[in-house]
């Protein structure tokens, strides 16, 4: 029989959506992005299903794995719009062609780690999002009626795949708690 005590036992303390950590490199602007990210989401992964028939019976089996290929973060920018300037520079470095060929792939792709933190702020579970780079920087709408609101916008990253990573507690590398 179901009871609240069963639910509490199975859930434990649970994990909070507000406790996460984003790690994008180690430069000063990366540290700023890590700290000023307002929201982020674990990326989506789907295993496709294929079917075959044998003796009139349908058999389903695994097909290709599909990574949606994008994930978004929402950032609050600082007084100098440092994040927006840096993402603009990063996107400009992506948009370089020589002789009709894409160049410098290793120069603009990076890994991004997104962690779920436990109630003590320690890394619990996360994903290393591989070969990521920004492909869209959202609009900033200026409006006289929003005089006390800070500038925020969404940055969309494209990636090739991601792998799960288990938490290894190293407080020297934790750049931001929420």
Global pTM exceeds 0.85: no
pLDDT tens digit at each of 178 positions of the chain: 678 888 777 777 777 888 888 998 777 888 888 888 999 887 788 888 999 999 999 999 888 877 777 889 999 999 999 999 999 998 988 877 666 666 666 678 889 999 989 888 889 899 999 999 999 999 988 888 878 889 999 999 999 889 999 865 444 444 433 3
Nearest to 41 by CA among 10, 74, 85: 74
Whether residue 151 contacts residue 76, with contact meaning beta carbons closer than 8 Å, is answered with yes
73, 157 contact by CB (below 8 A):
yes
Spatial neighbors of 102 by CB under 8 A, at least 6 apart, are 96
Per-residue DSSP letter, 121: S
Instruction: Name the strand (E) or helix (H) holding 77.
Output: none
Whether 82 contacts 90, CB under 8 Å: no
Cβ atoms of 41 and 155 within 8 Å: the answer is no
User: 71 - beta bridge partners?
Assistant: 157
SS3 87: helix
How much is the pLDDT for 127? 92
Hey, where are the domains in the chain? 12-166
Query: Is 76 within 8 Å of 152 (Cβ atoms)?
Result: yes
CATH for 12-166 is: 2.30.110
């Amino acid at each position: 029989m179901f009871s609240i005590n069963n639910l509490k036992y199975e859930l434990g303390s649970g994990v909070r959506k507000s406790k996460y950590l984003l790690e994008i490199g180690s430069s000063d602007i990366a540290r700023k992005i890590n700290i000023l990210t307002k929201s982020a989401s674990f990326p989506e992964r789907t295993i496709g299903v294929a079917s075959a028939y044998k003796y009139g019976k349908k058999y389903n089996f695994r097909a290709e794995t599909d990574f949606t290929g994008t994930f978004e973060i929402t950032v609050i920018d600082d007084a100098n719009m440092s994040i927006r300037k840096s993402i603009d520079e990063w996107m400009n470095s992506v948009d370089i062609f020589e002789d009709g060929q894409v160049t410098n792939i290793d120069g603009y792709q990076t890994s991004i780690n997104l962690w779920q933190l436990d109630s003590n702020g320690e890394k619990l579970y996360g994903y290393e999002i591989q070969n990521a780079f920004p492909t869209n920087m959202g609009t900033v709408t200026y409006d006289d009626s929003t005089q006390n609101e800070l500038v925020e916008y969404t940055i969309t990253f494209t990636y090739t795949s991601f792998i799960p990573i288990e938490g290894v507690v190293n407080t020297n590398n934790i750049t931001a708690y929420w």
